[in-house]
Each structure stands twice: as C-alpha cells, then as structure tokens.
C-alpha cells in the first residue's frame, strides 16, 4: 500500500488555468478587486471554484508573518465554566477568520510552559490564557520578544501588565456572604482547593475573610476554612466531618469556591446522609447547568461566561490589528442566583415546625 500524494492546488495552478499570472490571482485573493478587470476577476473566480482551490495558510503566514491562529490555554477543558468561555471566544474568532488552538494544562505549570513553547512555534497571533501563575517569564518573553498579544482570562498575574478579562471576585464574594448573613447563617465554611498561585482562589479566599470581618473581626467562621486537595481521596471528607462536627445544624452553610469542589461536597454530603438545606446550607461559585437540578436548586454565583469569552477574543483581535490601547482589565459583575439550598434560617425553622 503506497502513501498517495495529496493533490495540491496552488495559486500557480489557478493562474495557469485562468491564463493569468500568480500576482493577479494573489490580487484577487486579497480582495483588491479594483486592480482587476471584470473579466479576469470572473475568470479567476470560476477557476478557483472549479479547482476547489484553498489558499495555503502556512505559505501566507510565512510571508505575511501571521498565522491566523489564536492559542487558548486553559486549566481544565472539562470544567463547564471553561467551556462556556471557550464557546464565546470561539464564535468571535471564527467570525474574524481565526482558528483556536486549545490547550489543557491541568493546572500544571510545566504543561503550561510546554504549551506556550508549542504555540510559539506555531507563531500564534495571540494568546488567551487562564494561567497557573507559574510561567510568568515565558509569557513575558512571548509578549515582549514575540510581540504576541496576551489576554488573561479569569486569573490575574499582578506582575504582568497584560489585558485581563474576568469578574470582580471580591464584589461577588461579598455579595454572597452578605446574602447568607441576611438569611441568618452564623457559621459559614469556606471550602476551596489548594490556593497556590491561582489568583482567583486567592482573591475569593481573601474576600471571604474580609467579608466576615466586616461583621465581626473575630467572626467564628474565620476558623471555618477548609482546603482540600481533590486528588487525595479523603481530604474533603475529613474537612466535612470536621466542620459538621463542630457546628450545629440550624444555621450553618458551606461556601464552595468553585463548581468543581461544589460537586464533590455534594457527593460527600450525600454519602454521609446529610440533607441540604435541612442539615447544612450550600452555596457555590460558578453556575453549572446542573445547579438547578440538585436538591431544590443550589444557590450559585453566576459569571457571564459567554461574554467573558467573547470579550477575550475581541480584545485579542483588536490587539492583533494593532489598535492602540493601554493594557486594560475588564471586570464583569457576577450575579447571585438564589435557589433552595440557602433558605432563610428563620423561615426554615418555621417550615419545620
């Protein structure tokens, strides 16, 4: 079995068939129709159609120093929050003739670094990245030497003055805490994955503590902080036991720092036979599609994911086009979606009586 050679139609073939020169065809391809006679224009059009010619992006890119490729490096392509953003970005990219190279880092800086390098080799025209925070020098180099525009999504890198698109995590966290307090929850546990260098986790964590202090500088829940590495089997369970053991059931809530840990908490609660909201209330960041289907709905903080994705792509494309703009941060407001998992404690008592 021999390896068949692909049929390669080049601009030269088109030129030949249309009885013109490469340059003329190139003019057509670049849409400079005013430099063409109506006749040749039509002829070229026909030939392209008939030969099914597709311009070669690699050749074009080599010459013009442009790949029509935009990189998207994300932590977890499996996370619905991430895909919602990608979906928004993808739409905008497509409209503008760019294709999206999607890279999954698993929150591993090493992988992130490798991908940055790979994307550099592909000469991407721009990069959208949800960074681990552990590859700053490489991003800087890509940005400075390669002059490749970079937009950070979701996660900041304070040291770098790149564009950023995300939400106001402090505002969102405050809103949720103050809502819980208005529902009369006295103990609010903070459940998070290891904070590390990930800015979102830091911001939310910090905001949570600040929000509590606003009420009481010695708020008991300042002790109700639980960090669980979800890769380790029983860490989360231990945290849960700890919190549930030391609080009483009437006015306690668990606040999950993202939807991944939220789901794990739900599963762990179920395996313990704990009811929501009867035994413990629940609130979480992100608003996965299933949040309304579990229990009588789970109260969540919703981010405008599609808008975030679109804005990333729009920003990157503007930068690619050389639009002069100062580095900017685009911070959307998140909204609180109130559902059954966080009833008013008083009402709740009432209902049970």
Q: Which residues bind a copy of itself (CB under 8 A)?
A: 1, 3-8, 52, 54-59, 61-62, 65, 67-69, 77-78, 80, 83-84, 86-87, 90-91, 94, 97, 99-104, 111, 114-115, 117-123, 141, 145-148, 263, 266-267, 270, 288-290, 292-294, 322, 324
Q: Is 30 in the site for DNA (CB under 7 A)?
A: yes
Binds DNA (CB under 7 A): choice among 1, 2, 52, 63: 63
Q: Which does 12 bind (CB under 5 to 8 A by kind): a copy of itself, DNA, none?
A: DNA
**In this chain, which stretch among 32-40, 88-96, 199-207, 300-308 interacts with DNA, using CB under 7 A?**
32-40
Provide, rounded to whole angstroms, the least separation between the CB of residue 285 and a copy of itself: 16
User: Residue 74, SS3?
Assistant: strand
In this complex, which beta carbon is closest to DNA, that of residue 25 or of residue 153?
Answer: 25
- Is omega for the bond preceding 293 within 30 degrees of 0, making it cis? no
CB-wise, 132 or 251, nearer to a copy of itself?
132
65 touches DNA (CB under 7 A): yes
Sketch the per residue contact string, 236 through 265, with DNA: x for CB under 7 A, - otherwise: ------------------------------
**Is 96 in contact with 90 (CB distance < 8 Å)?**
no
Quick one: what does residue 338 bind among DNA, a copy of itself, none, with the CB cut-off 5 to 8 Å set by partner type? none
> What is the β-pairing status of strands 299-302 and 150-153?
unpaired
When the beta carbons of 39 and 248 are compared against DNA, the nearer one is 39
How far separated are the first and last CA of the chain, in Å rounded?
79
* Residue among 68 and 332 whose Cβ is closer to DNA: 68
| From DNA, a copy of itself, none, interface partner of 10 (C-beta below 5 to 8 A by class) | DNA
User: ∠ CA 37-41-44 to the nearest 5 degrees?
Assistant: 140
Shortest Å distance, C-beta 162 to DNA: 25
Please, what is the minimum distance in Å from the beta carbon of residue 37 to DNA? 3
For a copy of itself, the closer CB: 7 or 217: 7
**Alpha-helical runs (H) found in 65-217:** 80-95, 109-121, 136-144, 169-182, 199-215
**Minimum CB separation from a copy of itself for residue 289, in Å?**
6
Residue for token pair 């020169």: 21
The correct pick among 3, 4, 8, 218 for binding DNA (CB under 7 A) is 8
CB atoms < 10 A from the CB of 322, how many?
Answer: 8
Among the listed residues 3, 48, 64, 252, the single contact to DNA using CB under 7 A: 64
Phi, psi for 281 (deg, rounded to 5): -85, 165
Query: Which residue, 5 or 352, has its beta carbon nearer to DNA?
Result: 5
Least distance (Å) from DNA to the CB of residue 61? Answer: 8
Nearest to 116 by CA among 90, 146, 87, 91: 146
Quick check: 220 binds DNA (CB under 7 A)?
Answer: no
Decide whether 39 or 52 has the Cβ nearer to a copy of itself. 52
Q: Counting Cβ atoms within 10 Å, is residue 259 exposed (0-12), middle (13-18) or buried (19+)?
A: buried
| Burial track 22-44 (b if 16+ CB lie within 10 A, e otherwise) | eebbebbeeeeeeebeeebbebb
**Under 8 Å between Cβ of 105 and 75:** yes
Rounded-to-integer distance, Cα 228 and Cα 285, Å: 16
What count of other Cβ atoms lies within 10 Å of the Cβ of residue 334? 23
Alpha-carbon span 91 to 182, nearest angstrom: 40
Residue 50 engages DNA in binding (rule: CB under 7 A): no
Tokens 């670094």 sit on residue: 113
């Amino acid at each position: 079995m021999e390896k068949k050679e692909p049929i390669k139609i080049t601009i030269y073939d088109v030129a030949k068939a249309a009885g013109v020169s490469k340059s003329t065809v190139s003019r057509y391809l670049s849409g400079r129709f005013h430099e063409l006679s109506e006749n040749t224009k039509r002829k070229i059009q026909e030939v392209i159609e008939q030969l099914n010619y597709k311009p070669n992006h690699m050749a074009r890119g080599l010459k013009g120093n442009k790949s029509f490729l935009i990189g998207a490096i994300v932590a977890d392509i499996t996370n619905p929050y991430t895909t919602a953003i990608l979906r928004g970005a993808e739409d905008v990219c497509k409209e503008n003739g760019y294709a999206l190279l999607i890279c999954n880092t698993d929150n591993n800086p090493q992988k992130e670094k490798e991908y940055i390098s790979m994307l550099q080799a592909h000469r991407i025209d721009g990069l959208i990245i949800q960074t681990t925070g552990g590859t700053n020098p490489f991003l800087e180099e890509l940005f400075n030497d390669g002059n490749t525009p970079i937009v950070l999504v979701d996660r900041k890198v304070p040291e770098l003055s790149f564009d950023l698109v995300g939400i106001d995590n402090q505002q969102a966290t405050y809103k949720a805490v103050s809502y819980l307090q208005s529902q009369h929850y006295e103990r609010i546990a903070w459940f998070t994955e290891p904070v590390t260098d990930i800015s979102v986790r830091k911001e939310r964590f910090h905001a949570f503590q600040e929000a509590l202090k606003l009420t009481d500088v010695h708020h008991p829940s300042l002790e109700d902080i639980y960090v669980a590495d979800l890769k380790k089997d029983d860490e989360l369970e231990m945290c849960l036991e700890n919190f549930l053991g030391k609080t009483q059931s009437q006015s306690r809530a668990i606040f999950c720092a993202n939807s991944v840990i939220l789901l794990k908490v739900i599963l762990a609660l179920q395996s313990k036979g704990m009811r929501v909201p009867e035994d413990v209330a629940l609130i979480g960041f992100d608003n996965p599609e299933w949040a309304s289907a579990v229990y009588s709905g789970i109260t969540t903080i919703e981010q405008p994911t599609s808008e975030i994705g679109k804005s990333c792509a729009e920003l990157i494309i503007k930068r690619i086009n050389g639009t002069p703009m100062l580095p900017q941060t685009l911070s959307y407001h998140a909204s609180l979606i109130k559902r059954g998992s966080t009833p008013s404690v008083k009402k709740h008592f009432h209902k049970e009586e």
